[in-house]
Amino acid sequence: MTDRYRHTDLIDCTTTLFQRAGLDENIAQTVSEILVEAELLGYGTHGLQFVPAYIAGIESGRTATTGEPAILKDTPGALLLDARRLPGQWVVVRALDLALKRLADNGVICVAIRGSENISCLATYVKRAAARGVMAVLTTSSPGNAAVAPFGGRAPRYSTNPIAIGIPTDGTPILIDTSTSSTTNRMIERTRRSGSRLAREWLVDNTGRPSDDPEAFYTDPPGAIMPAGAPDQGHKGFAFAILVEALTSGLAGVGRADGLAAVGSNMFLQLIDPRAFGGLEAFRRETGFFAEHCRNTQPLDPDAPVRMPGDRAVAFYDEQCVSGVALHPEVLPRMKPFFEKYDVPLPTPIAS
Amino acid sequence: MTDRYRHTDLIDCTTTLFQRAGLDENIAQTVSEILVEAELLGYGTHGLQFVPAYIAGIESGRTATTGEPAILKDTPGALLLDARRLPGQWVVVRALDLALKRLADNGVICVAIRGSENISCLATYVKRAAARGVMAVLTTSSPGNAAVAPFGGRAPRYSTNPIAIGIPTDGTPILIDTSTSSTTNRMIERTRRSGSRLAREWLVDNTGRPSDDPEAFYTDPPGAIMPAGAPDQGHKGFAFAILVEALTSGLAGVGRADGLAAVGSNMFLQLIDPRAFGGLEAFRRETGFFAEHCRNTQPLDPDAPVRMPGDRAVAFYDEQCVSGVALHPEVLPRMKPFFEKYDVPLPTPIAS
């Protein structure tokens, strides 16, 4: 059986680690909370496994360790922030705080953010908004990264451009967190490490042929991920990836046009208050009805009932809050040298 | 060779037709302009072919013929409108006017609209916004229609939930107009009429098997369209369809939960002013660079260069403004009885 860890223990020890590495206490706390929330939701690929990379960013001086994102532009419904290479978790949580404060007066707030460090699991942030009865959209792109080919093309041009959407309902909140590409860098890496093939031909190799071989991604010149929906529906994944580019780098006003090394990640956060439209109760009734209506659809596979996005994550969250977090076996061993270096005790598993 | 018609002639005669059928002049004019703009953009399936249905709506008293959408709720960044069953073209154009007026003060405006008649071609509206240097998102759902199955389900639960996005660039604007389903009602109808098969297995029949047979959609109980990206990426199409449901019926506060006959179409329109973020010039530079970067990607098929969404539509538009609109051969014959009934001369083709 996998060891389980109390999520509060994981937050505490990771906070101490980040603090000793140089992050301000409140920043260290926020980064740790979001990483552990990703674990609670079952997004192990976007949780504590980032700790070594984040420590490296702090140690190298690339990641800012103190301060706030700077407000570059401010109108009632729109904010432009410079993340100043602060940890992305801190930046988004601060943006969320800012936007929530203004939401009641304005109904809708959009925040474009330039130059952030990694933000890990997008679902964690929109979940926080949904818990307050607010609909949220969060998206990010990495102008320095090119992994996905445009529809009909064979070379990488943009990042996997994920979108997360949090939707309150009168039951379980709907939590969407999905890339606009057929697969992700992380899935390709993992498949390569295991020596297997992708489930479908989600890649195009550098000769222009569809491929399920992860090695096709690492050639010179490189292959590329195809947009979500490829082959026949790839124009749709491409369309949503373009939306992300416009919302992130377009609104931030800095991105691929400015050269690769210029920027970190750009982000776009939008909050929508149902109270400013038909009301929160009516919103929850409609979204809750729709969710139930979908869940109650006869499934293709009798053993696989229709789920709404977020159903599984919320169930993981609730279960792991009680029974402890089941970490992927790779995570603690990878973190161990950093705990030792900064003289922080490793978390101890819950007695089973 | 197909006959060509001057677009201004088409607008004039259709305006006269709608007026004689009962629409106020300014409403008749706006509906006609949008339908002909759809033709100019090459969206013949969402243009003048709607005229017979619209006349039927007016004659039956279902479609309102005069007045304005009612403002039900009004905060600086958010508007809730009741379309009062007015023609959708009039409703969206009025919403666009309202939103554009407030945009400079607020940076972002969102408008939720309940109870509209059909809005035809979504791309026409976002094109108008993009021409003013404004990014626009427009989406709609029809609570009375169920055509698409949730991911993993086999029965229809929601409409094809299209999204249009207009993005200004420093060159050709990007115009996205796509359903969140694998195919559309209209494509299935057309394929059925021609006695052929769909290009892929975009349907699921009522026994739960994937199908390319349009007849599978019309059985009792009916089959369903699968979400965009199905089979392996269908959760992504489903996710974006859920987003549309939340933005339209959720914010409107009326929809599927209220019974099928209660409402017409619900809509959501968002305008984003790049001037309130990193500036219009920077926005256009980023989006224009990205578009060119994609177009210059080596194509999968040497004879099919990578296109951005809207490239073909804008080329059609420019060409047909000069050389006249090439109507689908079915369109004028279907309109003819209505022109005769209301004693409006049919448009005459341009001498070739």
pLDDT digits (tens, 9 = 90+) for A223-237: 999 999 998 899 999
What secondary structure, in 3-state letters, does chain B show? CCCEECHHHHHHHHHHHHHHHCCCHHHHHHHHHHHHHHHHCCCHHHCHHHHHHHHHHHHHCCCCCCCCCEEEEEECCEEEEECCCCCHHHHHHHHHHHHHHHHHHHCEEEEEEEEECCCCCHHHHHHHHHHCCCEEEEEEECCCCCCECCCCECCCCECCCCEEEEECCCCCCEEEEECCECCCHHHHHHHHHCCCCCCCCCEECCCCCEECCHHHHCCCCCCEECECCCCCCHHHHHHHHHHHHHHHHHHHCCCHHHCHHHCCEEEEEEEECHHHCCCHHHHHHHHHHHHHHHHCCCECCCCCCCCCCCHHHHHHHHHHHHHCEECCCCHHHHHHHHHHHCCCCCCCCCCC
Gap between the Cα atoms of B311 and B304, Å rounded:
13
What residues of chain A lie within 8 A of the CB of B225, using their CB? none
What residues of chain B lie within 8 A of the CB of A182, using their CB? 233
Could you tell me which residues come within 8 angstroms of residue B342 by beta carbon, excluding any fewer than 6 positions away?
B16, B17, B20, B21
Q: What is the pLDDT of residue B41?
A: 98
| Interface contact A256-B77, CB threshold 8 A | no
Helix B122-131 / helix B25-40 crossing angle, nearest 10 deg? 90
| Interface contact B246-A167, CB threshold 8 A | yes
B74: closest chain A residue by CA: A276
B304: closest chain A residue by CA: A152
Is residue A48 within 8 A of residue A35, CB to CB? The reply is yes
Task: Kindly give the residue spans of alpha helices, DSSP state H, lying in A132-279.
Answer: 185-193, 234-245, 251-252
Q: What is the pLDDT of residue B294?
A: 98
Two tokens at A28?
């260290």
Is residue B252 within 8 A of residue B113, CB to CB? The reply is yes
Two tokens at A344?
């922080």
| Interface contact B286-A254, CB threshold 8 A | yes
Which of A153, A246, A282 is the closest to B167 by Cβ?
Answer: A246
Kindly report the backbone phi and psi dihedral angles of residue A148, in degrees, each rounded to the nearest multiple of 5, phi listed first. -110, 140
Kindly report the backbone phi and psi dihedral angles of residue B78, in degrees, each rounded to the nearest multiple of 5, phi listed first. -140, 135
Q: What is the average per-residue pLDDT within A281-301?
A: 97
Centre a 10 Å sphere on the Cβ of residue A219 and count the other Cβ atoms it contains. 12
Two tokens at A143?
């102008």
Q: What is the average per-residue pLDDT within A83-92?
A: 97
Q: What is the pLDDT of residue A262?
A: 59
What residues of chain B lie within 8 A of the CB of A282, using their CB? 253-254
| Interface contact B78-A277, CB threshold 8 A | yes
| Interface contact A297-B155, CB threshold 8 A | yes
What residues of chain A lie within 8 A of the CB of B75, using their CB? 105-107, 276
Residue A81 pairs in a beta bridge with: A71, A113
Q: A45 pLDDT exceeds 90?
A: no
Q: pLDDT tens digits, residue range B168-205?
A: 999 999 999 999 999 999 899 989 999 999 999 999 99
What residues of chain A lie within 8 A of the CB of B234, using their CB? none
| Interface contact A108-B78, CB threshold 8 A | yes
Q: Which domains does chain A have, with CATH numbers?
A: 1-66+310-352 (1.10.1530.10), 71-178+240-309 (3.30.1370.60), 183-225 (3.30.60.50)
Gap between the Cα atoms of A105 and A128, Å rounded:
20
What residues of chain B lie within 8 A of the CB of A204, using their CB? 300
| Interface contact B285-A112, CB threshold 8 A | no
- Maximal C-alpha separation, chain B: 55
What residues of chain A lie within 8 A of the CB of B237, using their CB? 229, 233, 236
| Interface contact A152-B73, CB threshold 8 A | no
| Interface contact B242-A158, CB threshold 8 A | no
Residue with tokens 């020890």: A13
Q: What is the average per-residue pLDDT within A3-24?
A: 97
What residues of chain A lie within 8 A of the CB of B155, using their CB? 297-298
| Interface contact A250-B158, CB threshold 8 A | no
Handedness of CA A25, A28, A34, A38 (dihedral sign): negative
Q: What is the pLDDT of residue B29?
A: 98
Could you tell me which residues come within 8 angstroms of residue A269 by beta carbon, excluding any fewer than 6 positions away?
A92, A95, A96, A99, A110, A111, A113, A125, A136, A137, A138
Shortest CA gap B59–chain A (Å): 31
Q: What is the pLDDT of residue B330?
A: 85
What residues of chain B lie within 8 A of the CB of A228, using their CB? 229, 233, 236
Which of A233, A239, A300 is the closest to B208 by Cβ?
Answer: A300
Could you tell me which residues come within 8 angstroms of residue B158 by beta carbon, excluding any fewer than 6 positions away?
A290, A294, B141, B145, B146, B147, B148, B150, B241, B245, B256
| Distance, C-alpha B247 to centroid of its chain | 16
- Maximal C-alpha separation, chain A: 55
User: Residue A204 belongs to what H/E stretch?
Assistant: strand A203-204
Write b or e for each residue in B308-319: b if 16 or more Cβ atoms lie within 10 A of its Cβ, otherwise e: bbbbebbebbee
Q: What is the pLDDT tens value at each position of chain B, 352 positions in all?
A: 678 999 999 999 999 999 999 999 999 999 999 999 999 999 988 999 999 999 999 999 999 999 999 999 999 999 999 999 999 999 999 999 999 999 999 999 999 999 999 999 999 999 999 999 999 999 999 999 999 999 999 999 999 999 999 999 999 999 999 999 999 998 999 899 999 999 999 999 999 999 999 999 999 999 999 999 998 899 999 999 999 999 999 999 999 999 866 568 999 999 999 999 999 999 999 999 999 999 999 999 999 999 999 999 999 999 999 999 999 988 999 999 999 999 999 999 997 6
Shortest CA gap A18–chain B (Å): 32
Residue B73 pairs in a beta bridge with: B80
Gap between the Cα atoms of B173 and B246, Å rounded:
27
Looking at per-residue pLDDT, the higher value among A187 and A261 belongs to A187
Gap between the Cα atoms of B158 and B150, Å rounded:
8
Which of B135, B257, B270 is the closest to A286 by Cβ?
Answer: B257
Gap between the Cα atoms of A272 and A137, Å rounded:
9
Handedness of CA B24, B29, B30, B34 (dihedral sign): positive
Two tokens at A24?
């301000």
Q: What is the pLDDT of residue B264?
A: 84
| Interface contact B158-A76, CB threshold 8 A | no
Which of A233, A254, A258, A289 should be substituted to probe chain B, the one whose Cβ sees the most B Cβ atoms within 10 Å?
A233
| Interface contact B229-A242, CB threshold 8 A | no
A303: closest chain B residue by CA: B152
Which of A73, A137, A145, A242 should be substituted to probe chain B, the one whose Cβ sees the most B Cβ atoms within 10 Å?
A242
